[in-house]
Amino acid sequence: MKISRRRFLAASLACGAATSLTVTKNALGAGTFEGYPEGMGVLVDLTRCVGCRSCEAACNKEQNLPEPAQPFDDTSVFDQTFHGGQKRRPDENAYTVVNRYDQPDGKSPVFRKIQCNHCNEPACLTSCFVNAYTKTKEGAVVYNPKVCVGCRNCMIACPFQIPAYSYSSAFDPVVKKCIFCYDTRLKYGKPPACVESCPQGVMTFGNRKELIKIGNDRIKARPDRYVDHIYGENELGGTGWMYLAGVDFEQVGFDTTVGKEPIISNVKEFLGTVPMVLAIWPALFTGFHLLAKKKEHHSHAEQEDADQ
Amino acid sequence: MYTTWKKYLGGIMLVAFCLVPAAQGWTQDPPRTIELDSLSHLYEGVTFDHVLHVDLGESCAVCHHHGTGAPVQDENCARCHSNAEKTKVVTCKECHPVDPFSAEYLRERELDAKLYHRDKPGLKAAYHQNCMGCHEEMGGPTGCQDCHGRTEAGDAMFRAGAYAPQGGAAPSQH
């Protein structure tokens, strides 16, 4: 078929524009964020935790959470299980919980504090289409209940299953999770309430990059005491709250299969090609269609010529 | 005939002898009990039986890991700190800050590039890590209230005692 020069130039321009809409450097840049330079973090040393639950009590007070079912010095909560064997987890009334992991051979149990890990590239933030989550420059991942539509995709996305939902509220349910005490403390450079309350110095608050150095120094000074890994240093692109332990991390409930790529890497290459596909495929398939129908049109024209 | 100073020599020597420990900063024996109450808010202060612990430990350095002149006990520390120097003050709070995470303290540490020990625990953590470590090994008290009872404010925060939740509410998770 004959294409006029004008149509050819117009089509090329359109294809060029479409290709320029494809994945930009910015979009591909997602997944390489290593945290703000002044981002704070917390190093949680599980070899020091004795399960006193002072952190749970401090969080409850600081965040004005409702009265718990049991007092915070009640250690029988460590024996509670849910859904056939699962230990406690943060919920709408408790932004942080401590669980006990018994060890074999009469060794003392390991206690583990769970809370939002304030990832560098959070999955909750990635999955939220209304931008309800923000990674602040101080390092906290905070949530804005005013724009939230309650889709709860963030709860599905979080690889640590942290965001909890206030199902108990009929008319104003919101996502509930640890906010690193941003509003009351972190904004002003102060450590969160749990860190301040801990009698054993389990949590060390500081600049995230500095904490990685401190963690490595601790491992080097006492290699018999620590497993040679800082959980959260690289996991999922790095988390603000990192862990040291004296036993293998799987044994104390950590997911060691999460990998080093942030959650956004699962979709960013695929999604980056969408503009290009939407622009080029119609043109491409129209071209195929016209090529395929070319014979018909020609024979149709010949027929008309022959008839005349 | 004695010169004046020779007459008083005995007296002078006696006084000088008594001044030697004072010159080192210790004018008396270590205290018998010590009130550790610089952090008391949620828990009462600890009445620490110093005499008991002096008898229990082989060396001052078991608890006062440096500063008393006794050689350092931890083999990891001893690799660098083989000289045991005496300091004037040997209390924990002399070196371990009450607030180890204040912006000022963190800033100071950040500015001091040559500082080697960047991981110094705060005072509360130092007390507990030092005391509890040994108590666990030697069978000493390890419960929170074994050493210091909770205050009213402490009971309120822990929702314990008079502030305990009423009724046998089921755990909030479903």
At B13-30, the pLDDT tens digits run: 777 666 655 444 444 577
With contacts defined as CB-CB under 8 Å, which chain A residues touch B124?
199, 201
Which of B106, B132, B136 lies nearest to residue A206, judging by beta carbons?
B106
d(CA B32, CA B57): 15
Which of A58, A80, A199 lies nearest to residue B171, judging by beta carbons?
A80
Selection from A65, A209, A101 nearest residue B165 by Cα: A65
Tens of pLDDT, residue by residue over B37-67, are: 888 889 998 988 898 888 888 888 888 887 7
Look at residue B26 in the predicted model and tell me its pLDDT: 47
Q: What's the per-residue H, E or C state across A13-53?
A: HHHHHHHHCCCCHHHHHCCCCCCCCCCEEEEEECCCCCCCC
Q: Tokens standing for A131? A: 């931008």
- Architecture in CATH for domain A34-261: 2-Layer Sandwich (3.30)
With contacts defined as CB-CB under 8 Å, which chain B residues touch A94?
172
Query: pLDDT averaged over consecutive 10-residue blocks of chain A (308 residues)?
Result: 82 77 60 85 97 96 95 94 94 96 93 97 96 96 96 96 95 95 96 96 96 96 95 96 97 95 90 90 92 78 66
Supply the pTM of this predicted model: 0.83
Phi, psi of B61 (to 5 degrees): -70, -10
Contact B165 A71 (CB under 8 A): yes
How much of chain B, in percent, has pLDDT values that exceed 90? 25
Min distance B145 CA to chain A CA atoms (Å): 11
Which residues does B161 contact at the CB level (< 8 Å), separation at least 6?
Answer: B150, B155
Q: Say if B158 is an interface residue toward chain A (CB within 8 Å).
A: yes
d(CA A242, CA A206): 12
d(CA A237, CA A119): 8
Between the alpha carbon of residue A1 and those of residues A9, A301, A303, B7, B129, the distances in Å are 16, 12, 16, 134, 86
With contacts defined as CB-CB under 8 Å, which chain B residues touch A72?
157-160
Average pLDDT for chain B: 82
Instruction: List A261's β-bridge partners, or say none.
Output: none
Q: Say if B167 is an interface residue toward chain A (CB within 8 Å).
A: no
Look at residue B174 in the predicted model and tell me its pLDDT: 43
Quick check: A210 and A242 in contact, CB under 8 A? no
Quick check: A3 and A299 in contact, CB under 8 A? no
Structural domain span for residue B76: 28-158
Contact A201 B128 (CB under 8 A): yes
Instruction: List A242's β-bridge partners, or say none.
Output: A43
Residue B81 falls inside a structural domain: yes
For residue B67, the SS3 value is strand
Contact A205 B101 (CB under 8 A): yes
Count Cβ atoms below 10 Å from residue B65 Cβ, excluding itself: 19
Count of domains in chain B? 1
Residue B164 falls inside a structural domain: no
CATH number of the domain that residue B47 is part of:
3.90.10.10
Which of B101, B158, B171 lies nearest to residue A73, judging by beta carbons?
B158
Between the alpha carbon of residue A253 and those of residues A89, A116, B24, B71, the distances in Å are 11, 15, 53, 41
ipTM of the complex: 0.80
User: Would you kindly state where each structural domain of chain A is located, as residue ranges?
Assistant: 17-33+269-294, 34-261
Identify which has the larger pLDDT, B171 or B92: B92
Q: Tokens standing for B107? A: 């800033």
Which of B106, B134, B158 should we substitute to test contact with A (largest number of A Cβ atoms within 10 Å)?
B158
Quick check: A10 and A162 in contact, CB under 8 A? no
How much of chain B, in percent, has pLDDT values that exceed 70? 86
d(CA A62, CA A186): 12
Which of B119, B136, B146, B147 should we substitute to test contact with A (largest number of A Cβ atoms within 10 Å)?
B119
Tens of pLDDT, residue by residue over B77-115, are: 888 887 778 888 888 988 899 999 999 999 998 899 898
Look at residue B19 in the predicted model and tell me its pLDDT: 61
